[in-house]
């Protein structure tokens, strides 16, 4: 585990642990602001995470009570979970792009069976078998990972400037991983906080795990967002997980190439077969066999498969066009199909 530290350009990095997750931690960044500190993201809501955040701030000479505000890269619980505790300790405001507010509200609406029923309904519509639904229920439980106490109370808009001490942090809307994902650009230092948009070794998940069968072309948004950051003057990328990037544009290009290859595989492997979206996810090429996936990971793979399929149906991914069309339980989501 990394220690909290000053990493240059007036930036402090605080690793917030989440031992239940293979990623190990969420990297939270702190910078001085007119009212104290601005945090980029907050970390997973657990006692170990709270201890990591508070002790990390103390080790760099600050306190959680000094936090003026938290700017969120996106709504996922490993980024938003501790916002409620931070606000209670400091009175901080919490800001998120408006396109993720609805998703956060769905995710945090209640710690009861309603959340589970919502997820199971999406999996059923995609064509998941009963055994898959039972496994998902058993593995994930009914509690949502973040509660309404962490809800944002401010909106972030593209190109908005968040005030820091003597400088500003620019909001760069980069949808794809989520509808409202944003990066934050520290222009005077040519540093970009990339959240989960561009990571050094991890290929970010594309699509919406809360609503995997959404109508928006999340992959097109993601590819456009990658191209956008390629055009910006960034000498150092600081992601929410893993090591810093010294070539954000180059890594963005690798991610674009990865998804273009995945789209080609989608077409070559399935041809004109009419299969459910769940079956598409089963047949796609992943980093490990489908049978070895944790039930929650299958849900995330489903939303990524649906994003690639939607992009094909919308005519994206090259001149070949065509590709698999959803059938069975997955047909209704396309409202008429391809």
Decide if 225 is inside a domain: no
Domain that holds residue 19: 5-106+144-197
Per-residue CA distances from 134 to 66, 114, 131, 275, 295 (Å): 45, 16, 5, 22, 9
Give the separation between CA 216 and CA 311, rounded to whole angstroms: 9
pLDDT score recorded for residue 326: 40
Q: Which of 153, 246, 268, 156 is nearest to 198 (CA)?
A: 246
pLDDT score recorded for residue 139: 83
Residues with Cβ within 8 Å of residue 92, at least 6 apart in sequence: 39, 67, 68, 69, 70, 86
Written as six digits, the tokens of 87 are 């606000």
Q: What is the pTM of this model?
A: 0.88
Residue 316 has pLDDT above 80, yes or no: no
Q: Which of 284, 267, 281 is nearest to 323 (CA)?
A: 267
pLDDT digits (tens, 9 = 90+) for 237-248: 999 999 999 999
Decide if 114 is inside a domain: no
Decide if 237 is inside a domain: no
Which DSSP letter does residue 218 get?
H
Classify 193 as helix, strand or coil: strand
Classify 243 as helix, strand or coil: coil
- Number of folded domains that form the chain: 1
Higher pLDDT, 114 or 205: 205
Give the separation between CA 209 and CA 179, rounded to whole angstroms: 11
Residues with Cβ within 8 Å of residue 229, at least 6 apart in sequence: 172, 174, 183, 192, 194, 197, 198, 248, 249, 252
Give the separation between CA 149 and CA 234, rounded to whole angstroms: 35
pLDDT score recorded for residue 175: 96
Give the separation between CA 324 and CA 270, rounded to whole angstroms: 6
pLDDT score recorded for residue 324: 39
pLDDT digits (tens, 9 = 90+) for 14-69: 999 998 777 789 999 999 999 999 999 999 999 999 999 999 999 999 999 999 99
3-state helix, strand, coil in the chain (%, to 5): 40, 20, 40
Decide if 76 is inside a domain: yes
pLDDT digits (tens, 9 = 90+) for 141-188: 656 778 899 999 999 999 999 999 999 999 999 999 999 999 999 999
pLDDT band at residue 111 under the 50/70/90 scheme:
low
Decide if 247 is inside a domain: no
Number of other CB atoms surrounding residue 267 within 10 Å: 18
**Is the CB of residue 1 less than 8 Å from the CB of residue 26?**
no
pLDDT score recorded for residue 256: 96
Number of other CB atoms surrounding residue 104 within 10 Å: 25
Decide if 187 is inside a domain: yes
Q: Is 135 exposed, middle or buried (0-12, 13-18, 19+ CB in 10 A)?
A: middle
Give the separation between CA 184 and CA 62, rounded to whole angstroms: 22
Q: What is the CATH number of the domain that holds 151?
A: 3.60.15.10
pLDDT score recorded for residue 107: 81
Decide if 297 is inside a domain: no
Give the separation between CA 61 and CA 43, rounded to whole angstroms: 20
Give the separation between CA 238 and CA 196, rounded to whole angstroms: 10
Decide if 27 is inside a domain: yes
pLDDT score recorded for residue 57: 97
pLDDT score recorded for residue 113: 65
Q: Which of 13, 7, 70 is nearest to 41 (CA)?
A: 70
């Amino acid at each position: 585990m990394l220690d909290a530290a000053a990493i240059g350009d007036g930036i402090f990095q605080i690793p917030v642990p989440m031992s239940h997750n293979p990623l190990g931690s969420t990297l939270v960044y702190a910078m001085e602001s007119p009212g104290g500190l601005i945090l980029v993201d907050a970390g997973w809501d657990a006692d170990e995470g709270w201890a990591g955040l508070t002790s990390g701030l103390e080790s760099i000479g600050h306190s959680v009570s000094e936090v003026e505000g938290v700017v969120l890269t996106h709504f996922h619980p490993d980024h938003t979970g501790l916002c409620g505790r931070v606000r209670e300790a400091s009175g901080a405001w919490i800001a998120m792009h408006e396109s993720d507010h609805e998703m956060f509200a769905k995710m945090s609406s209640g710690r009861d069976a309603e959340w589970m029923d919502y997820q199971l309904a999406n999996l059923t519509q995609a064509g998941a078998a009963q055994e898959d639904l039972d496994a998902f229920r058993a593995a994930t439980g009914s509690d949502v990972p973040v509660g309404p106490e962490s809800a944002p109370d401010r909106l972030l808009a593209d190109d908005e400037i968040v005030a820091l001490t003597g400088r500003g942090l620019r909001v760069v809307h980069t949808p794809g991983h989520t509808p409202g994902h944003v990066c934050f650009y520290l222009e005077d230092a040519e540093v970009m906080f990339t959240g989960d948009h561009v990571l050094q070794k991890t290929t970010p998940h594309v699509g919406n795990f809360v609503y995997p069968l959404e109508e928006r072309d999340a992959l097109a948004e993601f590819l456009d967002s990658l191209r956008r950051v390629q055009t910006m003057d960034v000498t150092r990328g600081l992601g929410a997980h893993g090591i810093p990037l010294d070539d954000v544009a180059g890594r963005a290009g690798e991610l674009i190439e990865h998804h273009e290859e995945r789209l080609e595989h989608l077409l070559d492997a399935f041809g004109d077969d009419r299969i459910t979206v769940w079956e598409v996810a089963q047949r796609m090429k992943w980093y490990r066999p489908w049978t070895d996936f944790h039930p929650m990971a299958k849900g995330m793979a489903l939303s990524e498969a649906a994003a690639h399929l939607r992009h094909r149906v919308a005519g994206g991914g090259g001149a070949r066009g065509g590709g698999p069309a959803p059938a069975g339980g997955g047909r209704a989501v396309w409202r008429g199909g391809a």
